[in-house]
């Protein structure tokens, strides 16, 4: 199994790389699931930018909204696939031990979103055309995002360690609509 710091580093690297070149998923096995989930979040982020614009007309916003729905469903599907792989690898207890309310796949999905927030907030801290006040506020937000991401990664590491040791468990409730 891949470590949480490796997952977070991969999400950071993919975010940077995909802003410079067309996104492509190249990982194998479990890492492929991480990349697929992150690609959906990356795509969702940028479609939401399109949907917020008011200069593109109804048709462009409509197409963006449809893409958002599709990417969101695919993102959830890959979070569930991550959970399936973790259940197979960790075999969480089903008996009498504390149950985590959030699955590891959901947490990995949140780490992905925070990687995107971190990248885009960093861009705001170095914008030459932004005021010093704007850059300073964005630097504070960036520090908060980084703390949140670090705390979340630590929590996931602890959860996975506890599940492997039989001290905690989680349940996967596959979604349907």
- Between helices 4-20 and 132-165, what is the axis angle to 10°? 140
> Per DSSP, what are the bridge partners of residue 169?
99
How far apart are alpha carbons 150 and 126 in whole angstroms? Answer: 22
Start-to-end Cα distance in the chain: 31
Average pLDDT over residues 62-87: 96
**Max mean pLDDT range (55-59, 96-100, 126-130):** 126-130
How far apart are alpha carbons 112 and 71 in whole angstroms? Answer: 14
Asked whether 92 and 163 are in contact (CB, 8 A), the reply is yes
Q: Does residue 175 surpass a pLDDT of 80?
A: no
């Amino acid at each position: 199994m891949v470590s949480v710091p490796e997952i977070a580093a991969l999400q950071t690297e993919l975010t940077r790389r995909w802003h410079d070149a067309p996104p492509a998923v190249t990982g194998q096995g479990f890492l492929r699931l991480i990349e697929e989930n992150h690609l959906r979040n990356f795509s969702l982020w940028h479609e939401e930018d399109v949907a917020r614009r008011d200069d593109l007309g109804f048709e462009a916003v409509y197409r963006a909204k449809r893409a958002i729905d599709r990417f969101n469903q695919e993102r959830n599907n890959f979070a569930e696939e991550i959970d399936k792989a973790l259940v197979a690898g960790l075999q969480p207890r089903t008996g009498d031990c504390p149950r985590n309310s959030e699955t590891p796949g959901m947490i990995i999905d949140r780490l992905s979103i925070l990687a995107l927030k971190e990248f885009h907030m960093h861009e705001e801290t170095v914008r030459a055309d932004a005021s010093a006040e704007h850059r300073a506020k964005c630097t504070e937000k960036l520090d908060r995002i980084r703390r949140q991401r670090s705390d979340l990664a630590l929590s996931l590491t602890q959860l996975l360690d506890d599940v492997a040791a039989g001290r905690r468990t989680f349940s996967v409730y596959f979604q349907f609509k």
